[in-house]
Structure 1
Amino acid sequence: MHIHDFADPKLGKAIPYGVYDLAANTGWVNVGTDHDTAAFAVESIRRWWHGQGTTAYPQATRLLITADAGGSNGYRTRAWKLELARLAAETGLTTTVCHLPPGTSKWNKIEHRLFSHITMNWRGHPLTSHEVIVESIAATTTRTGLRVRAQLDTNTYPTGVAISDAEMAALPLTRHAFHGDWNYALVRHEAPLDTG
């Protein structure tokens, strides 16, 4: 997962959050207008799943996410794990997360196979509105067949949401033996988690 935040005092923010499907060579970019929060990051994954994932992988029972170590989807971010647990409960998917070690986000495939092409595609084009940004992202293709879809997300995502120790302890989170702080799985809870 990767994000860039373009703010303009008159036009507002554009926060692209991407999902890159390695197997299908497809990208999904959710362009937010509010705040880069864990709730926004997981909503972006949710929108990808409902818009593309369920069609491409109708028999899926698991979802693997590789993510950077920091930011809204960081390994220390409690809200990220809580929101992912809610997504796992909603979809029934066991969700495994593997964070790249701190300082290595440029190794993330999404950088080289999605966002670099988006950046080249809109190079020299004035990004004058959210619509232009979404259309420019969606027009990105490569000779190797990359296809990208994009959508504007005008929902609000409050910052400073506190997650208690009790909420963390209740998460259906299993840490992997190798660097369990960076690698873990969230499984569907039998009783749905409180969705706020």
Structure 2
Amino acid sequence: MNWGYARSWAASLGWGDWPTLVACLIAGAALVVAFKAQRDGRRSATASERSADASEASAATAVASVEEARLSRLASERSANVAEETLADQRREAAERRAAEEEANRPRPRFRIESPGRHRYRLRNVGTGPATGITITARVEPYLMGHVNDVTLVPGEAFPFNMAGSSGAPIPSTLYVIWDGQAEEVALAVPV
């Protein structure tokens, strides 16, 4: 090797070579910065894609959540309607039960015909409640009977009347009673 020519390359540079060298160094630095910018751009694009995917997933989740909330609202409305109907049914049944209990516990008249003598009879109220407007009728004729019309009897009280057969016919074996609040005739056996 010829060491005589081995002088420093920096010593051989002239003033015109320095701007070229500086330009090369700046170009190299710009190249490094460009590669780093490109790598950062790729990272940014990847992050943007991930963010967009996450936004789409979040939007889908939000739509599903809204649908679930709507279905939940509909289910709760149905449940509330069923609860209201059940409550109305329970109230109606309770009112019917109370009315039936009141009707069962209501004092009611009940009648019996008694015969203390030959042609003498008594209509006795053997029930628990009073009766007004009592009228006795018979469907078999001929017979004679004292007038029993618009009579009032409290429990235990009796109304006397006379009854006898006529034209050779016996007295009827059944009399029919109606009173205020009882429009349908109630059959009563006549004692012999």
TM-score, normalization by structure 1: 0.19
Q: Which has the higher contact order (CA 8 A, sep 6+)?
A: 1
Larger Rg: 2
